[in-house]
């Protein structure tokens, strides 16, 4: 069971009362003066008001970004010069990691220890792309004595970056790093639930020496600011992370403009545990995989498929460990699951918990912790014996809720794993090397971890298949997305030109 909350909650010092946009190097209010409330997820009380961007604000931000791209130095700087700025950004983020984590934890409800890890990952993202842009090589294709062909990479223009409310600062860095490294300018539209940490980027970038207008930020609702950014004719690129349904809408709205799209969408990722697996390691990893980050993670292994011969033992041990997961105030270092981000999302997750009680056998959790009568707190919840046609098996819950289902054969396990519209990640637990690789090759997932939780290598492609995404980012895939690859052809020998309209006698 959850243990009583014994520590008093700490509120970060010097919280702002309002947040503005950042356009063309200046903090500004919305053109129409409109704002929206931002809630503290522990109390659900408004703690600040943020400028509510609309089309007029996005137009100003895009104009500033476009001017910085066409007239400013950033796209024309040497890769090494841009790299130095990105390294300074990484240094500043690292030096402020505790403050960043404190604000992120307060704003999003993430446990402070996990928010600190995400702040440090944000610094590493900038450092990674700062190094990659200098080490980058481009292809050359030679026909000896006749022709030389090479690829010239060029930044594309204004990149529209639309980011989610789960681990917002880190996921913003994942887009900002490569977009800036490659010489583009950007307009960032952070999630309306969690705008606090995004407001810190402007000061970090100014201190690091990023030229004016290269970075712009517009707060606001997705249907207002996000929609205007997607539909703006001077924004050729959109990188979006969020729900699959929103991704479909962006796809449709961007189609008339033939924009470049990179979309990392929802997931309902399976963790498949075979009888020969190290069950201790598998239980630890699958507990972490669905309950870390409050279960609000796209790659959560929220469907656990377990071979029948070890199923009862696995369920018993998993449920007991889930019951021991510490629910607490986000600022408490002992907390493992904090508060969900917003009352709307809390209501959605709790509706799935109630639904699950009719679709599976509740073996852990199932409601609000007694010691937290207010706020968006949910006990880690485990349902066993879940049918593959159950909604809690098929639909993304995005909270600390997991469904466990038995299987008898490898073929059944694969069919169950592939039996959703999603295909982001998969986790396979087995000591049979042949089975592990064959399963990985046949599972419908953009990323597979064998005998591991989600450990990212930033060089590898990140993205999903089916309803989980469009395109990939990470490593050179990010460089590909944020640049145009221009082929240049040089004739080295005599011109090989067929002659049309040749004059008589010649």
Which residue blocks in 45-111 are alpha helix, DSSP H?
A: 55-71, 79-95, 97-108
The residue among 77, 333, 36, 82 whose CA lies nearest residue 190 is 36
Q: Which residues pair with 402 in a beta bridge?
A: 382
* Share of the chain residues as helix, strand and coil, in percent rounded to the nearest 5: 40, 20, 40
3-state secondary structure 194-261: CCCHHHHHHHHHHHHCCCCCCEEECCCCHHHHHHHHHHCCCCCEEEEECCHHHHHHHHHHHHHHCCEE
- By CB neighbour count within 10 A (0-12 exposed, 13-18 middle, 19+ buried), where does 298 fall? buried
> pLDDT by residue for the chain (506 residues), tens digit each?
445 555 689 999 999 999 999 999 999 999 999 999 999 999 999 999 999 999 999 999 999 999 999 999 999 999 999 999 999 999 999 999 999 999 999 999 999 999 999 999 999 999 999 999 999 989 999 999 999 999 999 999 999 999 999 999 999 999 999 999 999 999 999 999 999 999 999 999 999 999 999 999 999 999 999 999 999 999 999 999 999 999 999 999 999 999 999 999 999 999 999 999 999 999 999 999 999 999 999 999 999 999 999 999 999 999 999 999 999 999 999 999 999 999 999 999 999 999 999 999 999 999 999 999 999 999 999 999 999 999 999 999 999 999 999 999 999 999 999 999 999 999 999 999 999 999 999 999 999 999 999 999 999 999 999 999 999 999 999 999 999 999 999 999 888 788 899 888 76
Let me know: does 21 contact 28? Beta carbons within 8 Å: yes
Determine the pLDDT at residue 3: 52
Determine the pLDDT at residue 2: 47
Within 10 Å of residue 142's Cβ, how many Cβ atoms?
11
Say which residue the tokens 């918990």 belong to. Answer: 353
- By CB neighbour count within 10 A (0-12 exposed, 13-18 middle, 19+ buried), where does 307 fall? buried
Q: Please give the helix or strand (H or E) that residue 266 lies within, else none.
A: none
For 154-172, b/e burial (b = at least 16 CB within 10 A) is ebbbbbbbbbbbbbbbbbb
Question: Encoding tokens for residue 146?
Answer: 């006749």
Q: Which residues are tagged catalytic?
A: 264, 298
Determine the pLDDT at residue 504: 84
H helices then E strands: how many in the chain? 15, 21
pLDDT by residue (tens digit) across 158-210? 999 999 999 999 999 999 999 999 999 999 999 999 999 999 999 999 999 99
Whether the pTM exceeds 0.85: the reply is yes
Helix axis angle for 433-442 and 410-417, nearest 10°, is 30
Determine the pLDDT at residue 4: 56
pLDDT by residue (tens digit) across 339-376? 999 999 999 999 999 999 999 999 999 999 999 999 99
């Amino acid at each position: 069971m959850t243990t009583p909350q014994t520590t008093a909650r700490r509120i970060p010092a010097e919280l702002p009362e309002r947040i503005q946009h950042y356009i063309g190097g200046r903090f500004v209010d919305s053109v129409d003066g409109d704002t929206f409330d931002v809630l503290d997820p522990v109390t659900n009380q408004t703690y600040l008001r943020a400028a509510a961007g609309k089309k007029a604000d996005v137009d100003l931000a895009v104009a500033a970004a476009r001017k910085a791209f066409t007239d400013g130095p950033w796209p024309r700087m040497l890769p090494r010069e841009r790299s130095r700025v990105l390294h300074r950004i990484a240094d500043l983020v690292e030096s402020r990691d505790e403050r960043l984590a404190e604000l992120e934890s307060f704003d999003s409800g993430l446990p402070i220890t996990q928010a600190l890890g995400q702040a440090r990952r944000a610094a590493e993202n900038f450092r990674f792309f700062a190094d990659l842009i200098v080490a980058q090589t481009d292809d050359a294709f030679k026909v000896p004595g006749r022709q030389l062909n090479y690829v010239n990479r060029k930044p594309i223009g204004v990149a529209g970056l639309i980011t989610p409310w789960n681990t917002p600062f880190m996921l913003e860095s994942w887009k900002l790093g490569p977009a800036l490294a490659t010489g583009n300018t950007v307009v960032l539209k952070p999630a309306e639930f969690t705008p606090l940490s995004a407001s810190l980027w402007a000061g970090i970038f100014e201190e690091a020496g990023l030229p004016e207008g290269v970075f712009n930020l517009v707060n606001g609702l997705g249907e207002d600011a996000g929609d205007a950014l997607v539909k703006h004719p001077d924004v050729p690129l959109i990188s979006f992370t969020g729900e699959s349904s929103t991704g479909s809408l962006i796809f449709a709205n961007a189609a008339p403009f033939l924009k470049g799209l990179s979309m990392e969408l929802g997931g309902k990722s399976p963790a498949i545990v075979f009888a020969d697996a190290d069950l201790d390691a598998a239980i630890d990893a699958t507990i972490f995989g669905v309950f870390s980050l409050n279960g609000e993670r796209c790659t959560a292994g929220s469907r656990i498929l377990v071979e029948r011969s070890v199923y009862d033992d696995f369920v018993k041990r998993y449920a007991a460990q889930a019951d021991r997961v510490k629910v607490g105030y986000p600022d408490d270092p002992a907390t493992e699951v904090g508060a969900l981000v917003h009352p709307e999302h809390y209501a959605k997750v709790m509706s799935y918990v109630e639904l699950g009680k009719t679709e599976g056998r509740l073996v852990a959790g199932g409601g609000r912790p007694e010691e937290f009568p207010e706020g968006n707190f949910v006990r880690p919840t485990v349902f066993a014996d879940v049918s593959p046609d159950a909604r809690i098996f098929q639909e993304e819950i995005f909270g600390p809720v997991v469904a466990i289902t038995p299987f008898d054969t490898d073929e059944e396990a694969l069919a169950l794993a592939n039996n959703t519209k999603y295909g982001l990640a998969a986790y396979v637990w087995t000591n049979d090397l042949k089975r592990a690789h064959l399963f990985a090759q046949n599972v419908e997932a953009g990323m597979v971890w064998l005998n591991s939780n989600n450990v990212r290598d930033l060089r590898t492609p990140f993205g999903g298949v089916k309803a989980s995404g469009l395109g990939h980012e990470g490593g050179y895939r990010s460089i590909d997305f944020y640049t145009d690859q221009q082929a240049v052809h040089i004739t080295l020998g005599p011109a090989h030109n067929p002659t049309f309209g040749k004059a008589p006698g010649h």
